[in-house]
């Protein structure tokens, strides 16, 4: 069983989750808590190859099921090759996106059904879930304005991104213990203060790294 602490960041495009994940990683480094910062799709050489196919703006003919299986393939490799071994060592893993992204984007926004994606997520990960998930919630229209270039998924209509947001909030409602909804329409410092406080007060985190 896993010995470390597993954290994921989720949110719509331009939510600022990557900035926050990097800040948390830097905080752990400062505290001398071993931590790895990774992301999906990607995080291993094979998963990065899959990422290129997924995000290339030429691949507009990709079917929703193909898209789902590619995200899951990337995740299966990432989980087995990178996440599990690091957790086994008792370290912290922070990932920028994980299983909830597939639920919101493929399950809800692509209409493949949350139940199907839920089942396949379990197969791809062996059932490993983050100890804590930070959902950085913003109005997708605001988020899209913050982007510079756009990849295949970011190019989707605003209605698609609104479905993603609503699905995220629904999933968070179902999994209140794991998923913390963070209001992302505030200053970076205010958002980070919430994230830090919630991490520190998490029971497992306290047990593992309290003395630091
Ligand atoms: P990325 O460039 O990593 O951007 P960000 O995470 O900052 O938005 O793009 C990943 C894209 O893939 C993003 O549009 C969300 C999408 N995605 C899914 O649709 N399903 C998934 O399971 C994952 C992990 C990502």
* pLDDT tens-place string over residues 39-71: 999 999 999 999 999 999 899 999 999 999 999
Backbone φ and ψ for 133, nearest 5 degrees, come out as -125, 130
The Å distance, Cα 32 to ligand 1 centre, comes to 30
Residue ID of nearest Cα to ligand 1 atom 17: 101
Write out the two tokens for 205: 């985190």
Residue ID of nearest Cα to ligand 1 atom 14: 153
Q: Per-residue pLDDT averaged across 4-31, rounded? A: 97
Q: What is the mean pLDDT of the chain?
A: 95
Q: Hunting for tokens 């290129």 — which residue is that?
A: 52
Write out the two tokens for 170: 């629904």
Is the full-model pTM beyond 0.95? yes
Sign of CA dihedral 62, 64, 66, 69: positive
The Å distance, Cα 156 to ligand 1 centre, comes to 12
Q: For position 210, what pLDDT does the model report?
A: 73
Provide, for the chain, the percentages of residues in helix, strand and coil under a 3-state DSSP scheme, each rounded to the nearest 5.
55, 15, 30
Ligand 1: residue of 16, 70, 97 to mutate (most ligand atoms within 8 A of CB) is 97
Cα–Cα–Cα angle for 149, 69, 103, rounded to 5 degrees:
70
The Å distance, Cα 160 to ligand 1 centre, comes to 13
- Contact between 28 and 199 under an 8 Å Cβ cutoff? The reply is no
- Contact between 78 and 89 under an 8 Å Cβ cutoff? The reply is no
Q: Per-residue pLDDT averaged across 152-157, rounded? A: 90
């Amino acid at each position: 069983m896993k010995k470390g602490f597993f954290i994921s960041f989720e949110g719509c495009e331009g939510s600022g989750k990557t900035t926050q994940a990097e800040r948390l990683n830097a905080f752990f480094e400062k505290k001398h808590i071993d931590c790895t910062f990774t992301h999906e799709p990607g995080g291993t050489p094979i998963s990065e190859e899959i990422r290129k196919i997924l995000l290339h703006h030429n691949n507009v003919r990709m079917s929703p099921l193909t898209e789902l299986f590619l995200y899951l393939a990337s995740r299966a490799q990432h989980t087995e090759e990178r996440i599990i071994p690091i957790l086994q060592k008792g370290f912290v893993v922070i990932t920028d996106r994980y299983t909830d992204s597939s639920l919101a984007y493929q399950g809800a926004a692509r209409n493949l059904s949350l139940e199907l994606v839920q089942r396949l997520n379990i197969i791809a990960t062996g059932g490993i879930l983050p100890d804590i998930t930070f959902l950085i919630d913003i109005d997708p229209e605001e988020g899209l304005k913050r982007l510079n270039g756009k990849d295949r998924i970011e190019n989707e209509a605003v209605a698609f991104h609104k479905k993603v947001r609503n699905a995220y909030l629904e999933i968070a409602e179902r999994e209140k213990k794991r998923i913390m909804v963070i209001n992302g329409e505030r200053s970076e410092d205010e958002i980070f203060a919430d994230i830090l406080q919630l991490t520190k007060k998490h029971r497992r985190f306290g047990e593992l790294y309290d003395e630091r």
